[in-house]
Structure 1
Amino acid sequence: MKKMHLYLLLFLVSGMVSCDSKKETATSEIIAYPVLTLKSEKATLSVEYPTTLEGLQTVEIRSKVDGYIEEVFIEEGSLVHTGQKLFKIDANRFVQDVNQRKAAVLAVEAALETASIQVLRTQSLVDKKIVNSFELTTAKNVERVKKAELNQAKAALSDAQSQLAFTQIVSPISGIVGRLPLKKGSLVSSTSETALTTIANTKEVYAHFSLSQKQLNSFLNQYPGKSMAEKLSNIPQVNLRTADGKDYGSKGKIQSLSGVISLETGSANFRALFPNPDGLLWSGASATLQLPTTIDEAVKVPKKAVFEMQGNHYVYTVEAKNTVHLTEIKVLPIATEQHYVVQYGLAPGDMIITEGIGNLKDGMQIQPNPVSTK
């Protein structure tokens, strides 16, 4: 009886050991993960800069005279051409001033004519020695005074005519009309801070962006050329992404670099020019300028293989005996849509895990499953 109990106890113990062995085997099962062997390759990245758009010409329209707006000939957003009427200022007092100046000119002209006749008469009397030369000198002086008065009167008339002409406000350029803050009947002044409107020529649009003094040299050193003009000509065409996240269809070209670094910001200003035949770009709008940069020997890693922790970037590399290792990497601030470019932490030939990284632990053993680099 005691032997039977002993056999039963041994059977139970062996069963428990067998179950524990099965559990340990199940727990230590090696799982396959997709891995990628890194290589060095040529990569084209886009460096992005915030930019502000500006029309080829942007002109504020202001009144040069004081008065009430009598007519508004345009609408917001309309296209106007050089010389087209925009506003009409009440001109009554300017018309009256012109008429007064014309009358003054006529009066002085008559006085001058009289003075000239007097000079001729006096000259004749002097020739006949009826009067002395003092009388002739006096007559000539009166004539010179009247000529000066006539010049003054004509200048005053010209000024009055200019003031009258300023009541008809025309467009100095062809472009798109901006906001119209003042309507018909509004009182305008030549010293007012508020412009009547803005006309923007947006057939071509400038995109302004800036680089810090530290960035400037490294940026320009990428491009061949002995002079600044040569370097600018060798910069590739740039792309533009509008504020709504859409890519603008036409490419632009960087045209100029300011020759002075701003004392306030410590940066230099660049200007790129984009064609805008359909008027899709607006003066004053914000956008993002994308400048392509080529790296000849870049080590790229898929973004899905990278995770961020406390501001640092990490990947899981596959080491000896297929164990994984948590590796910190440094990536460039520029990237493609699907890849980061590694600055340091990885090298060509290293193997990283591309998927399922949320289930991994440092030192864990896996079964590598190579994936295509495409």
Structure 2
Amino acid sequence: MHLNFSKSIFSFSFLAAVILTSCQSGNGKNQSNVILADIPVLDLQPKSIEVPKTYVADLQAVQFVEVRAKVEGFVDKIYVDEGQTVKKGQPLFQLTSNEFNEMVNSANAKLMQARAEAKSTALEVERLKILVDKKIISPSELELARAKNSVSQSAILETEALLKNAQTGLSYTTIRAPFDGIVDRIPYKTGSLVTAGDLLTNITDISEVFAYYKVTENEYLKYMRDRLESKKMSALEEDEVVSLILSDGQTYQYSGKLETMEADFEKGTGSIAFRVRFPNPDKLIKHGASGKIQMDNTLENIFLIPQKSTFEIQDYSYVYILDKDNKVRVRSFVPLQRYGVYYISDSFEPGDKIIFEGIQQLKDGMEIIPMRVSEKEAYDTLVNAF
């Protein structure tokens, strides 16, 4: 007999049951003796399926740097705009530099003076050396001149250090991009006074992005054991790719590669974070965006239970099981998760028969005349119902 789930057939079956019930009630028989005919029954067989599993992910730029002022000064010029793409070394801001220019000039002057004094003392040493050789003066005067020359050489080193520090301070008044990236918000405008440490902007490199997601300790152990069993001893699978679901629910067009994981479990939650790298050539993903990592998870020896074959009582899920005497028995089960129009469960045995449709008519212990339903017929019926 071919499967036909039209309303007319179920109406006919239900009407036949009502007539049979009325006849039996008129003969004084109990209602539990009612036999319903052509009740669809589905045989359960274990399966292995790939179920996508999602994890909440934190998306970060491959490079993210806070650009801060190193010296105090007024913002003299702003060379870039918010959202602008910049190159490494490109000027971003110019702070007032008059004070540092004066420091550089002063250090240069002191250095020139120190070098002149050093040259003078060096000449004095040479002059006295000739006189000592001719025994005109005592050697002690030559030693004194040499000591003065050493002091003047030290003065050169000191003033060179002062000049270098002044030049470094002057260079800090021009703030440059540390790498190729995008300029973030600019809180200070031209004329604003900034002090050392004030945040001028952020630079982000989003040519690639990192997605961090956390897994439980049990998931981590399963992952690592699976790798050990398959003799893949490297830290992580180089060709292992994962998908990214963006906040609008659409799948990101580029796949990512699982790269590494944190060293320790997070206290309190007992989770550990994995890192996935995604290409971002279109700059679609921004730093700080949200999404979900999607990975395929293989479930073996599980059973697919049609949702329409189940009912719930006080947060417990039930189905009707058909026994060898064609009587239905209420059976509780634990759904592991939803899978389309099915529940996934491991609470059954191969060959168990469940009532596929018409459970509203049934009671525990009721006898029926079953009508076998194939898996394909059941699936087609479930899909067509939507």
- What TM-score, normalized to structure 1? 0.83
Q: State whether structure 2 residue 282 is matched by structure 1 residue 278.
A: yes
- From 213, 218, 226, the equivalent of 1:214 is 218
Instruction: From the superposition, tell whether residues 167 and 361 of structure 1 become closer, same or farther in structure 2 (CA, over 3 Å).
Output: farther
- From 122, 128, 136, the equivalent of 1:122 is 128
Corresponding residue of 1:14: none
Corresponding residue of 2:353: 351
Name the amino acid aligned to 2:289: A
- From 179, 190, 193, the equivalent of 1:187 is 193
Instruction: From the superposition, tell whether residues 264 and 342 of structure 1 become closer, same or farther in structure 2 (CA, over 3 Å).
Output: closer
**Conserved in 1, the CA contact under 8 Å of 2:44 and 2:303?**
yes
Instruction: From the superposition, tell whether residues 49 and 319 of structure 1 become closer, same or farther in structure 2 (CA, over 3 Å).
Output: same
Name the amino acid aligned to 2:173: T
Instruction: From the superposition, tell whether residues 132 and 200 of structure 1 become closer, same or farther in structure 2 (CA, over 3 Å).
Output: same
- From 317, 326, 339, the equivalent of 1:336 is 339
- From 162, 165, 168, the equivalent of 2:171 is 165
1:57-107 alpha-carbon deviations (Å, 9 max, x no partner): 111111111112222222222222211221111112111211111111111
Instruction: From the superposition, tell whether residues 321 and 212 of structure 1 become closer, same or farther in structure 2 (CA, over 3 Å).
Output: same
CA distance in 1, matches of 2:37, 2:318: 21
- Where 2:234 maps in the other structure, the secondary structure is helix
- Where 1:140 maps in the other structure, the secondary structure is helix
CA distance in 2, matches of 1:343, 1:115: 96
1:287-334 alpha-carbon deviations (Å, 9 max, x no partner): 21112112343322234444444443333333345444332212325x
Corresponding residue of 2:234: 229
Corresponding residue of 1:21: 23
Instruction: From the superposition, tell whether residues 98 and 314 of structure 1 become closer, same or farther in structure 2 (CA, over 3 Å).
Output: farther
Displacement of 1:191 in angstroms is 3.0
Instruction: From the superposition, tell whether residues 189 and 233 of structure 1 become closer, same or farther in structure 2 (CA, over 3 Å).
Output: same
- Where 2:336 maps in the other structure, the secondary structure is strand
Corresponding residue of 1:8: none
- What TM-score, normalized to structure 2? 0.81
- From 138, 146, 169, the equivalent of 1:140 is 146
CA distance in 1, matches of 2:310, 2:130: 110
Displacement of 1:342 in angstroms is 0.9
Over the residues paired in the alignment, what is the CA RMSD in angstroms?
Answer: 2.8
CA distance in 2, matches of 1:234, 1:110: 65
Q: State whether structure 2 residue 251 is matched by structure 1 residue 247.
A: yes
**Conserved in 2, the CA contact under 8 Å of 1:34 and 1:371?**
no
Instruction: From the superposition, tell whether residues 81 and 31 of structure 1 become closer, same or farther in structure 2 (CA, over 3 Å).
Output: farther
Instruction: From the superposition, tell whether residues 365 and 278 of structure 1 become closer, same or farther in structure 2 (CA, over 3 Å).
Output: farther
- Where 1:229 maps in the other structure, the secondary structure is coil
Corresponding residue of 2:8: none
Instruction: From the superposition, tell whether residues 336 and 254 of structure 1 become closer, same or farther in structure 2 (CA, over 3 Å).
Output: farther
Displacement of 1:286 in angstroms is 2.0
Name the amino acid aligned to 1:71: K
Corresponding residue of 1:16: none
1:140-194 alpha-carbon deviations (Å, 9 max, x no partner): 11111111111111111111111111111111111222222222222222233xx
- Where 1:233 maps in the other structure, the secondary structure is coil
Instruction: From the superposition, tell whether residues 21 and 248 of structure 1 become closer, same or farther in structure 2 (CA, over 3 Å).
Output: same
Corresponding residue of 2:95: 89
Name the amino acid aligned to 1:229: S
Instruction: From the superposition, tell whether residues 365 and 282 of structure 1 become closer, same or farther in structure 2 (CA, over 3 Å).
Output: farther
**Conserved in 1, the CA contact under 8 Å of 2:211 and 2:277?**
yes
CA distance in 2, matches of 1:330, 1:89: 67
Corresponding residue of 1:65: 71
Instruction: From the superposition, tell whether residues 229 and 141 of structure 1 become closer, same or farther in structure 2 (CA, over 3 Å).
Output: same
Displacement of 1:362 in angstroms is 3.6
Name the amino acid aligned to 1:141: A
CA distance in 2, matches of 1:303, 1:136: 107
- Where 2:140 maps in the other structure, the secondary structure is helix
- From 25, 35, 40, the equivalent of 2:46 is 40
**Conserved in 1, the CA contact under 8 Å of 2:48 and 2:300?**
yes
Name the amino acid aligned to 1:40: P
- Where 1:201 maps in the other structure, the secondary structure is strand
CA distance in 2, matches of 1:149, 1:328: 92
Displacement of 1:271 in angstroms is 0.8
Name the amino acid aligned to 2:151: V
CA distance in 1, matches of 2:311, 2:244: 29
- Where 1:221 maps in the other structure, the secondary structure is helix
Instruction: From the superposition, tell whether residues 148 and 227 of structure 1 become closer, same or farther in structure 2 (CA, over 3 Å).
Output: farther
| Paired-residue identity, % | 33
Total equivalences in the alignment:
351
